[in-house]
Amino acid sequence: MSSGQESVFPEYETDTSQTSKLLRKFKETPFVPIGMAGFAMVVGYGLYRLKHRGDMKMSLHLIHMRVAAQGFVVGAITCGVLYSMFRDYVVKPKE
């Protein structure tokens, strides 16, 4: 960009590290990183339990883990939407 043009998104261009992007996202919408962390925990637990699944078929085990991971993410998104609606409509910010 030339020096005469003003940046459209200056706050997004200054933060370039992944850590600062994740912290900014957590401040804006706190349930997105919580959903990502929950998804990672469910996948990790599923991989751990994969070794000790007993006589359960592999496909059935993977289906159960997929449903659990999706359920956690959908639950986190739902909580985030409800939190956002609560913040915007019930506890109105002072303008």
DSSP percent split of the chain into helix, strand, coil, nearest 5: 75, 0, 25
Q: How confident is the model at residue 85 (pLDDT cuts 50, 70, 90)?
A: confident
- 6, part of any domain: no
- 51, part of any domain: yes
- 5, part of any domain: no
Give how many domains the chain has, as a whole number.
1
Q: CB count, 10 Å around CB of 33? A: 14
- 74, part of any domain: yes
Domain that holds residue 38: 13-91
pLDDT tens digits for 53-65? 888 888 898 898 8
Whether 33 contacts 25, CB under 8 Å: yes
Rg (CA), the chain: 20
pLDDT tens digits for 9-36? 555 555 478 888 778 877 877 777 788 8
- 46, part of any domain: yes
Answering whether pTM is above 0.75, one says no
- 2, part of any domain: no
- 8, part of any domain: no
